[in-house]
Chains A and B, each alone.
Chain A
């Protein structure tokens, strides 16, 4: 298989990248930390305060290797447009696929399958750690989610896929509270509510999803996909549907897991939430900081990607998936392989 990731990611704040003898030279605080021959790279992604010399930007541009600038937290800001980028063909392929009901359905089905599979794995994982009384409830929910996976091949339209996904989500979130071991009287998820969140779990889940959606939008942009043209999510002005599609497989793995861990470790406690009159709940600034720090640390953890078999940092899974989707849309892959968490 073609090498999937030979993109250079620089997230060390204050690094300086420059061109030296057909190499990218990376300096941190005046000391050289890497010399990377250009022919190994197909692009450079920098986070936050990273300096790139104009000569390097121009050389990368001339060789059709895009530079992407993201904020330190990973939100997309800019990307170089190279003289002959595959963008237009990829985007045309993406738009053509989104206009073709059969292809849209196929992609949506794989995304949903990945999501349900990861939800099931997350429930079973929680069941292993849970108190004895909660274990059967979690296993039962995992069985229900698993049952919905079997229904996916029968779905004839994207709406039916969304319905199956919704049924599974009800089973998943119905059992969600049972994954928590502490502060149970405070943290209790009734139903998913957004804008405004009606209980603390919804508040913290919504915030984690926002961060994750930003990461996924950055991944789409970096690969050259149009983040607003999605498959599982309906098109709507201003909505990054494709970023939300990519996020589906990662919600249970990254966001939900982080919330469960933080609550169970008592790092998020009732004091981190503000209850407003009228029943809405928001997460306090301290609570947000705890969550962001945990998510950033979690992104450094490596997992073995189910398809490439490579050790990949969790934070790069969205980039890998965007690339795999791009390969499918261009016709290099017969179907889109979703990310399956072990």
Chain B
């Protein structure tokens, strides 16, 4: 599994831009966890990464928006410090609700 940090800036001045924002957010939600308003932590395998990148490129407008994908170093808890309200959940640990 590859751990990624995805953040985006979508120009929301026009209604087409607001639509793009919703669709870009939706692609990210489908693949990972929302950690801040436009920041996602995602853990995917190689194939899923290709699909994710492809979908993001299809939804965004390269002349107006910006999407950045960072690779997180593993193990995550050693290299990621989070403060304040944090709803992150380790999805490889046993999930019992």
Mark A residues whose CB is within 8 Å of B: 3, 5-12, 15, 21-23, 26, 28, 33-37, 39-41, 310-313, 316
When chains A and B are docked, how far (Å) is the Cα of A26 from the Cα of B97?
A: 9
Chain B residues, Cβ within 8 Å of A40: 43, 91-92
Closest to A302 in B: B94
Q: 15 A–B contact pairs at CB < 8 A?
A: A6-B95, A9-B94, A11-B97, A22-B29, A22-B30, A33-B97, A34-B95, A35-B33, A37-B32, A37-B91, A39-B31, A40-B92, A310-B94, A312-B94, A316-B94
In the complex formed, the residue of A with least CB distance to B48 is: A39
Q: Separation in Å of the A303 CB from the closest CB of chain B?
A: 12
Picked from B29, B43, B44, the residue with its CB within 8 Å of the CB of A21 is: B29
- Please determine whether A9 and B33 come into contact, CB atoms closer than 8 angstroms: no
Contacts of A33 in B (CB 8 A): 97
The 5 closest A-B pairs by CB, nearest first: A22-B30, A40-B91, A9-B96, A8-B95, A5-B94
Residues of A within 8 A of B89 (CB): 34, 36
**Complex partner residue of B44 from A12, A34, A39, CB under 8 angstroms:** A39
Residue with the greatest number of chain B CB neighbours at <10 A, chosen from A36, A39, A310: A39
Instruction: State the Cβ distance, A138 to closest chain B Cβ, in Å.
Output: 34
Contact B97 A35 (CB under 8 A): no
Inter-chain pairs besides A22-B29, A40-B43, 7 sampled, C-beta below 8 Å:
A8-B95, A22-B30, A35-B33, A36-B89, A37-B31, A41-B95, A313-B96
Tell me the B40-57 residues at the A interface (CB within 8 Å). Answer: 43-44, 48
B16 interface contact, C-beta 8 A: no
User: Nearest A residue to B44 by beta-carbon distance?
Assistant: A39
B22 CB to closest chain A CB (Å) equals: 11
How distant is B53 from chain A, measured CB to nearest CB, in Å? 15
Tell me if B96 and A6 are in contact (CB < 8 A).
no
Q: Give complex CA distance A40, B3 in Å.
A: 13
Contacts of B44 in A (CB 8 A): 39
Please measure, in the bound complex, the distance between the C-alpha atom of A7 and the C-alpha atom of B32, giving whole angstroms. 17
How far is the CB of B72 from the nearest CB of chain A, in Å?
16
Q: Are A21 and B26 in contact (CB under 8 A)?
A: yes
A36 and B95: CB pair below 8 A?
yes
- Are B96 and A21 in touch, CB under 8 angstroms? no
